[in-house]
Structure 1
Amino acid sequence: MARIGMEAQAVIAMRLAGMAGFWETPPSEFVRMVAEKPQAAVEAVEAATLAAIRGGSADEVMHAGLREIGRHTAGNFARLSQMGPSFGAEQAAQ
């Protein structure tokens, strides 16, 4: 859960920096950040439900749901981290 929290905060920071023009993000990022939430929630609930149906303990059910959320936060973090700051390229060219 700590990893998910840190990745989520970093993703939020990079997206906010992208909105301000300080991080290289495509225009589609702003739609993506809203559109991905329902899908991630469905996948997490689905995984948790399957774990519960299989007779998993409360910890196993929670872990199954969080694994899906973590997959999304890790993917977003890795993708956005590759983009980097947008002001660096302009300064390097000068």
Structure 2
Amino acid sequence: MANGKPDPFAMGNPFLLWQQMTRIAWESQMVIAMRTAGMMGLVPQDVGEPARMVVEKADAASEAMLAALRAAGRGERADKVMAAALRPYRRRTKANVKRLSRKS
């Protein structure tokens, strides 16, 4: 805040954070649809996919918490902390879409 006025750039670029969240949301819906189709028997699916689905959520949550704590511990801005927390989820959703959409 300079001269009592809020700094519009103090929060970084909120568009980048919004873009990251949008990609995660889009890819998550794709993964849900592909896994549901697999569970219904409409597409081939690895036998361990349901267990993988549960385990990866716990792993991503713990990685996200650790990443956020590290970023906050370094004194990063709130948007950087949030981006760090979203990175493990984005990495997983991207990998899942790629893996689940491969032709068997």
Whether these two folds match at TM > 0.5 is yes
Partner of 2:25: 5
Q: What is the CA-CA distance between 1:61 and the residue it aligns to? A: 0.1
How much is the aligned-residue C-alpha RMSD, in angstroms?
A: 1.0
Q: Are 1:62 and 2:70 an aligned pair?
A: no
Which residue, out of 56, 62, 75, partners 1:36? Answer: 56
Aligned length: 84
Aligned ranges 1:1-94 → 2 under 5 Å: 1-83=21-103
The structure 1 segments of at least 4 consecutive aligned residues displaced by more than 2 Å after TM superposition are none
CA distance in 2, matches of 1:21, 1:46: 37
Matched-pair contact (CA < 8 Å) for 1:44–1:68: yes
Residues 42/83 of structure 1: CA separation in 2 closer, same or farther (3 Å cut): farther
Compute the TM-score of the two structures, normalised by the length of structure 1.
0.85
Q: Which amino acid is 2:46 matched to? A: P
Higher helix share: 1
Matched-pair contact (CA < 8 Å) for 1:45–1:65: yes
Matched-pair contact (CA < 8 Å) for 1:25–1:83: no
Extract unaligned runs of 5+ from structure 1.
85-94
Q: What is the CA-CA distance between 1:35 and the residue it aligns to? A: 1.2
CA distance in 1, matches of 2:87, 2:68: 9
Q: What is the CA-CA distance between 1:83 and the residue it aligns to? A: 4.0
Extract unaligned runs of 5+ from structure 2.
1-20
Q: Which amino acid is 1:33 matched to? A: M
